[in-house]
Amino acid sequence: MLAKSTAVFLVFVLNGVVFGSWAARVPALAAQVGATPAGLGLSLFGVSVGLIVAAPIAGRLCAAFGSRAVMVLGCVTGFVVLPVLGLTTSPLQLGLVLFVLGLTVGTLDVSMNIAAVTVTRLLDRPLMPVFHAGFSVGGLVGSLVAVFSAAVHWSPLRQFSILAVIGVAAVALILTSLPAEAGSGPVAGQVTSLSPVHRPSGGLCSGCWP
């Protein structure tokens, strides 16, 4: 079984992979749905709306059911939604799927930060910069996968389907190592503003990783 800190770090990485893998394929998705620049902008607006809607809801879900359940739900759903992006055929469909993706990523952002706060308090060590660096690492990995997929002429659907299988399998492997403690109200409220998607992630903290 992995240490809780390692498991939470991997969730940050997986979230970054989800975000980086689809964002780097926006040109291919735009061509796939035949979106004009204006239409593409409106479609991309869907993910922002989803993130905003998810933030206050996710904190309450963590308080009620624990961060582990919400993290697993957000992570698995995020990977499952990716292939659906590859099936969209219109800007409206793309926008709606991106809204759902925003909901899942937003839910995962809040729950994984609550879990990170829990682990940091348990270990009494400054691990938050390391966790947020994990998101950046995942974003880089997702972007590199997208670059490779574009270079070998894989469709977004093929790329996203392969990532979905790998991502869901990874979640299954770390499931039992994730902290299951329910987040308290104050912590949940604070963490909704800590999402690494919305702010620069911290650098690696020398000597603070267990």
Contacts of 67 by beta carbon, 8 Å cutoff, 6+ apart? 111, 112, 114, 115, 118, 178, 179, 180, 181, 182, 183
pLDDT at 204: 34
Is the per-residue pLDDT at 190 higher than 80? no
Lowest-confidence region among 106-110, 190-194, 198-202 = 198-202
Is the per-residue pLDDT at 161 higher than 60? yes
Long-range CB contacts for residues 97-100, cutoff 8 Å, separation at least 24: 97/46, 98/43, 98/44, 98/46, 98/47, 98/50, 99/46, 99/47, 99/49, 99/50, 100/50
Up-side HSE of residue 85: CA atoms within 13 Å toward CB?
A: 37
CA angle 107, 141, 104 (to 5 degrees): 15
Is the per-residue pLDDT at 29 higher than 60? yes
Lowest-confidence region among 24-28, 97-101, 152-156, 195-199 = 195-199
For 74-116, write each residue's pLDDT tens digit: 999 999 999 999 999 999 999 999 999 999 999 999 999 999 9
Is the per-residue pLDDT at 171 higher than 80? yes
**pLDDT average, residue stretch 32-50:** 93
pLDDT at 28: 94
What's phi and psi for 11, nearest 5 deg?
A: -65, -40
pLDDT tier, 165 (very low <50, low <70, confident <90, very high otherwise): very high
CATH of domain 4-191: 1.20.1250.20
pLDDT at 181: 64
Query: Which residue type is seen at 35?
Result: A
